[in-house]
Amino acid sequence: MTGYSHYSGTYGGTSYGIYMDNSTINTGAGSITLDGSVRGAFSGGIACVLVGNTGAVYLTTTSGSVNIIGNGYDQTYVFSGGARYGTLLSGGVYGVQISSQSGAISVEGNASFNSNNNEKEGVLITSPAADRVRIISQSGAISIIGTNIREADGQYSNSIRFTAEANAANSIRIGYDGTNTYNGNITIQGNSIYQRNNQAGTGSISIQSTGTLTIQPTGNAFTYMRAASGSLSFDDDWNFGSSLSGFTFGKSSNTLDLNFAQTLTVAGPITFHAGNFTINNNLTSSTASDITINATANFNTSNTRQTISTAGGDIIIHADKDANGSGILNLDYLTLNPGAGDIVIRGETFNWVTALNTDKPYLNGSGTVTIEPSDAFFGQELNTTWFVFDQDNNGMGNLNLSKSGSTSEIIHSGSPITAAGSINIYGGNIAINQNLNTSVSGSDILVRASGDIVLSTGRTITTNAGDVILWANSDGGTSNGGVYFTEQKKSNHRRNG
């Protein structure tokens, strides 16, 4: 079905490309396409409308696809006062349901309006009560795609707007219908996304599947993430369930900040791409999958302890992802539990509370722990006393501090470190102010400094039949590079066996 409205007169009324209310289309294996377009001079214009005002709207297939498309245009500066939407799904009194068994569902809206009024959306999904808007399937992929050429005009000009008007769970339901298992993949795509209401209750916007969920910009980066109050944080109004097989936010090129408030559990990998990223709740992968947080700028925590955990995957926190030397790591009150997986922490500088061990980040798991710069070297010294290693006493595997070629100062102080594998420390000047120990036979300890290595009084470096290598002046410079034992200049390392 194709609908086209182009009013070129002087009356600024409301124009619709397609307007559907109290209607049912059921095609079985056949596909459904609604393609609406609105152009011209009007006060208000909506390219494609599905609204349940006088009766419910049902679009239903089995294996056939469902495609809802709304393309909105207008004349510059003509009757600019009214609302303009590409595609509007409004639950109204009786509801709107788009459903399939295995067919793909696509809802697309493009706001190419010239008017500078602040009420323009690519896709607007609005529901006044529980289950009034349902975009559901059992195995078909679901895509919500919006664009808007004038997102900078204000709060109500976005690629996609979600409006759950009532304080009711599942007001907007995408994916899982509440009864039948859904295993398709869901994509929410738009440069700007707006959550219109922050409700007192939870789960008014339900997006659930056993497939993957991807929330990404149409272009390289998000332009706006808006909410009724402040920036969009995906608070408890959003219900992602606990059975997603993957969750991705952003693209690798995204630079917009994200303050993520949701408690998120996924049966697969979790990936975030942001400018500044702030974690405000727990992130969990219930499988042996990676959790990756890429921040081109800073990584931040809140002032209550949060946990990032996987059942054997890696945990990767990457500040200064673009390696331009400006990414701060703020890791206080954070617990990392990768199980048998590895921990990788990258950034440029460090800034968090270290007064008590309960303030510090807990680095757990039996895999390798790596703390290294995103570029060639850290922008300041690194001190191991800022961390609590192996807080759960399950035994840390290998430990890597910085990376080969780094000239940053490294200080090992605070508590002794024992690893069930190799220990590698790279830096400019390196101070060993506490004991180092490897417990597994044959595991080596390498301390490699371009400058000096200083071993403090009474401290030991111990392996179990592994090598101990203290390599100062590793870059062959002429200005410094010695190994100093501060207790009578006597070697204080041991190699057992």
Report pLDDT for 43: 82
pLDDT of residue 495: 40
Going by pLDDT thresholds of 50, 70 and 90, the confidence category of residue 213 is very high
Q: Would you say residue 348 has pLDDT above 90?
A: yes
Q: What would the mean pLDDT of 13-28 be, rounded to a whole number? A: 94
Question: Pairing relation of β-strands 238-239 and 186-189?
Answer: unpaired
List the strands of the sheet with 362-363, edge to edge: 264-266, 283-285, 306-310, 334-337, 362-363, 388-389
Copy the structure tokens of residue 329.
């790591």
Global pTM value: 0.95
Taking only the tens place, the pLDDT of each residue in 84-119 is: 999 999 999 999 999 999 999 999 999 999 988 899
Residue 206 has pLDDT above 70, yes or no: yes
pLDDT reported for residue 489? 35
The answer to whether the CB of 122 falls within 8 A of the CB of 165 is no
**Position with higher pLDDT, 352 vs 79:** 352
pLDDT at residue number 476 = 87
Q: What is the dihedral of CA 206, 207, 211, 213, to 10 degrees?
A: -150
Cβ-defined contacts of 242-246 (< 8 Å, 24+):
242/266, 242/267, 242/286, 243/208, 243/209, 243/210, 243/267, 244/208, 244/209, 244/210, 244/211, 244/212, 244/213, 244/268, 245/209, 245/210, 245/211, 245/212, 246/211, 246/212, 246/213, 246/214, 246/270, 246/289
Looking at the DSSP bridge assignments, the partners of residue 108 are: 69, 145
C-alpha–C-alpha distance, residues 376 and 370, integer Å = 15
The angle subtended at Cα 280 by Cα 278 and Cα 286, nearest 5°, is 105
Q: Say how far apart CA 164 and CA 262 lie, in whole Å.
A: 17
Burial of 483 (0-12, 13-18, 19+ CB in 10 A): middle
Q: What is the pLDDT of residue 317?
A: 98
Q: Which of 132, 146, 228 is nearest to 187 (CA)?
A: 146
pLDDT range class, residue 229, cuts 50, 70, 90:
confident
Which secondary structure element, helix H or strand E, spans residue 468, and what is its range? strand 468-471
Higher per-residue pLDDT: 80 or 37: 37
Please choose, from the candidates 8, 10, 15, the residue with its C-alpha nearest in 3D space to the C-alpha of residue 37: 15
**pLDDT of 10 strictly over 60:** no
Exposed e or buried b per residue across 209-235, where buried means at least 16 C-beta atoms within 10 angstroms of its C-beta: bbbbbbbbbbeebbbbbbbeeeebbbb
SS3 call for 233: coil
Q: How does residue 486 score in pLDDT terms, banded at 50, 70 and 90?
A: confident
Q: Is the pLDDT of residue 196 over 70?
A: yes
Placement of tokens 């710069």 in the chain = 373
Sequence-separated (6 or more) residues with CB below 8 Å from residue 161: 121, 123, 124, 125, 126, 193, 194, 196
Please give the structure tokens belonging to residue 376: 């060639």
Mean pLDDT for the stretch of residues 314-335 = 97
Closest C-alpha to 100, from 60, 141, 69: 60
pLDDT confidence of residue 200: 86
Phi, psi of 361 (to 5 degrees): -70, 140
Model confidence pLDDT, tens digit, residues 269-303: 999 999 999 999 999 999 999 999 999 999 999 98
pLDDT digits (tens, 9 = 90+) for 137-165: 999 999 999 999 999 999 999 999 999 99
The number of angstroms, rounded, from the C-alpha of 80 to the middle of its chain's C-alpha atoms is 37
Distances (CA, A) of 250 to 193, 258, 290, 424: 12, 10, 16, 34
Per-residue pLDDT tens digits for 360-412 = 999 999 999 999 999 999 999 999 999 999 999 999 999 999 999 999 999 99
Q: Could you tell me the CA-to-CA distances from 292 to 245, 269, 273, 310, 318 in Å, in that order?
A: 15, 8, 9, 11, 8
| Average pLDDT over every residue of 436-455 | 97
